[in-house]
Amino acid sequence: MPLKKNMTRDEIVDYLLNDLRRSVVDDVYPCIRPGDPRGGYFAVPKLVLSYVDYLGALYHGYDGRRNRQGRRIFAYHEYAKTFLRDIFGKVDPHYTEHGDLLWEIYRNGTIHLYEPMTLQNQGREIHWHAYKGPRIELLPKLIEGSQDMFWATHLVPHEVLQNRWVQPISITCLYEDLLASITLYARVIETDHNVEDRFRQTANALQTPEQTSRVRWW
C-alpha cells in the first residue's frame, strides 16, 4: 500500500507495517553487515534518523508552515525529536532523555558533514562511539595510549576521561528500535484519532507537487 491521499486507518496501518517496515529491512539491515566488524557505523544512523525525520513529519502533521522561499516545511528537527521521545521512548526509555543528543551528534553530523559531530558545553566535550551489538556492551575507551574498557549502554552518555564524554550507540539497536517504533506508531494510530488525522494531513499534503521557479527541466 503506497502513500496516497485520504488513506483510511487500515490503509495507514498497512502502509506502516508493510511498506515502510519492508523499506527499513531492505535498505538499513544490509548496512549493518552482521558478523563483520567493518561498515555501517555512519550509514545506519544516517538512514535511521532520516526515517525518523519522515516519521516526525507524519506524527506532527502538516500545519501549513513555509520557509522564506515559500516552500512547505514538512520535516523539522523538533518534530523528529518529539517522535524519538514519544514513540522510540516507549521502546527504550533512554530515547526520552537522550534522544535530543542522539539527533544533534549522529543525525546532523552524518547528514551534513560525513561523520557524527563532537559537541562542547561549559568545558565538557562529548564524542561519538558507534558499535555493533547488544544494548549493553563492553567497549574500549578509545583514548590514545590507553587500553581501558567501559560498560556502555546504548544512548547513555559516559565520562571516559575528566570532562570528556562519549554517547555510545549500537547501530544494531538503532535498526531494531526503528522497526519496533514503526509498529508501535501503527498501534497508536489504531487507537488515537488525532494521531491518525495528523498522519493523513501530512500524507495528503505530500501528494501535492511542490511549486518551484528555481529549476527547469525543459
Q: Mark 23-54 as b/e (b = at least 16 C-beta within 10 Å).
A: ebeeebbebbeeeeeeebbbbbbbbbbbbbbb
Bridge partners of 138, per DSSP, are 151
Is residue 86 within 8 Å of 59, Cβ to Cβ? yes
Q: How far apart are CA 124 and CA 154, in angstroms?
A: 20
Q: What torsion, rounded to 10 degrees, do the Cα atoms 98, 166, 78, 175 define? A: -80
Q: How far apart are CA 177 and CA 194, in angstroms?
A: 24
List, for the chain, all residue ranges whose pLDDT scores fall below the cut of 50.
none
State the DSSP string of 169-198.
Answer: EEHHHHHHHHHHHHHHHHHHHHH-HHHHHH
Is residue 88 within 8 Å of 95, Cβ to Cβ? yes
Q: What is the pLDDT of residue 50?
A: 97
| 3-class secondary-structure state, position 161 | strand
Q: What is the pLDDT of residue 210?
A: 86
Q: What is the pLDDT of residue 64?
A: 86
Q: What is the pLDDT of residue 80?
A: 97
pTM above 0.85, yes or no: yes
